[in-house]
Amino acid sequence: MRTTRRVAGIDSSTQSCKLVILDADTGELLHSSALPHPDGTELAPQRWWDAFEGVGATNLTDIDALAITAQQHSTIFLDGNGEVIRDAILWNDSRAISQGLSLRAALGPGWWAREIGVLPGAAHPISKLRWLAEAEPEHAQRLQSVMLPHDWLTWNLRGGARAGVEPTTDRSDASSTGYWSPTLREYLPDLITLALGHNVRVPRVLNPNEPAGHLPGGVLVAPGLGDNAATHLGLGSLVGEVVVSIGTSLTISVTWPNPLRDETGRVDDMADAMDSYLPIVVSLNGARTLSATARMLGVSLGDLDRLAREAASDACGLTFLPFLDGERTPLLPGSTGSLVGLTRESMTAENLARAAILGMANSVAQGLEDLQLAGARCDSITVVGGGARSSALRQAIADLTGLDVAYPQPLEYAARGAAYQAARIAHGTLPRWKRTVQEHHRPASPLSWVDRVRASHREVCARLFLSA
């Protein structure tokens, strides 16, 4: 007979599907498995389900509860029978940028910021709906239901259309769509019609403590949540604690008790998985910036980190804009990575490595500034994700932001956050799981070079991409 209470969390991220099983009382990791997802910005949802099955998520019996988290914004299009009608369009696909801008103009930035919390961009499902109506009208006419990955996986796990199951979601993922209002706590169907030309079915938004249902064996299925909200839950983040997640994307977010209103569109004011808010700044260029730089230099990631630590603090004036996949914040979808300031002195492997590190750290510093300008308090930074393994990057973030940076024990924090939600709902109490900080980074001094680096990145970006 089982003596421990066990819960599972599944994270269907851009790169992979991860399953963790934890002791519900202590948070101790009991089991984990993972499988990769194909690369790209468009994907058949079946590929997510294949990995979901492959990690064992459809065969969990010796647990009390589970929850699913997944990449946000990625959009799944379904017909009236619940069948997928085309490949899903992922969050990092830029095809719908003009449609997002037209939606912004239709109602005005102030309205979107006040009523929805986000200004439509290429990432948001509402923009993808308008793109579908304009680019693929035959698919738009068939479209009867829209889901995000965590909604779709939860629905299918519970039986989907074949079992007549009602699709559900949670407030954190609903708030990323562009047609759900965090303040009103309801969908605005007129926005869907504005984008698509007709209304569609959307998942019912569950309350934070409301289960989605139970599996035949009695396992409770929690509502699930978006991956950014899950990471905050998995860390147990506090109000004012900025979480920098360095995965496929680079996200800078903070738990905040009240809604913010950013009419610039740089901050998406989304909901968290409880009763607060999660203002967030998103860059398309995360850990792959480091891997691409290492590949260019013909070194390992460990050697890239060593080279960056051996370089001059300011990379001898070398400035790297890491817009390798275009950029979402700032809104520069047609931009490319740029390396400026090459001289015989600066043109070394060490300075190139350092410039890449500084480019990413500057994105974090700018995101932090955007959060503060929108009204959030930023007290400290916690960094997670694959790119957070770089000690040179962690220190550069501390130096360029002027804040202490904590690097916790490397864990799958989004999957852990999903398991936390499952434990909270199944057992009716807030789990008291410990967070182990592996390393602290404090801003070095003196930092006379920091202002030069920040100014150089602003000047180069304005000259290359904003002057027109």
CB 42 within 8 A of CB 96: no
**pLDDT tens per residue across span 417-453:** 999 999 999 999 989 999 999 999 999 876 789 999 9
Please give the single-letter amino acid code of residue 126.
Answer: I
At 367, give phi and psi (nearest 5°).
-60, -40
Annotated domain spans of the chain: 6-227
Residues 6+ apart with CB under 8 A from 194: 103, 106
What span, in angstroms and rounded, lies between the C-alpha atoms of 121 and 128?
A: 9
Tokens of 168: 């559900």
**pLDDT tens per residue across span 215-259:** 999 999 999 999 999 999 999 999 999 999 999 899 999 999 999
CB 417 within 8 A of CB 225: yes
Radius of gyration of the chain (CA): 22
Residues annotated as part of the active site: 227
Average pLDDT score over the chain? 96
Which CATH code for domain 6-227? 3.30.420.40
In this prediction, residue 76 carries a pLDDT of 98
Write the DSSP string, 92-128: T--TTHHHHHHHHHHH-HHHHHHHTSS---TTSHHHH
3-state DSSP assignment of residue 168: strand
10-residue mean pLDDT series, the chain (468 residues): 87 97 97 96 98 97 96 98 98 96 98 97 97 98 98 98 96 98 95 98 97 95 98 96 96 96 95 96 95 97 97 96 94 93 96 98 97 97 97 97 97 97 94 93 87 95 82
What span, in angstroms and rounded, lies between the C-alpha atoms of 34 and 12?
A: 10
Quote the strand ranges of 206-354, DSSP E.
Answer: 213-214, 220-221, 225-226, 241-246, 250-254, 268-271, 277-283, 319-321, 338-340
In this prediction, residue 121 carries a pLDDT of 96
According to DSSP, the β-strands at 225-226 and 250-254 are unpaired
Exposed (0-12), middle (13-18) or buried (19+): which is 164, by Cβ within 10 Å? exposed
What span, in angstroms and rounded, lies between the C-alpha atoms of 278 and 270?
A: 5
In this prediction, residue 466 carries a pLDDT of 76
In this prediction, residue 187 carries a pLDDT of 98
In this prediction, residue 445 carries a pLDDT of 78
In this prediction, residue 272 carries a pLDDT of 96
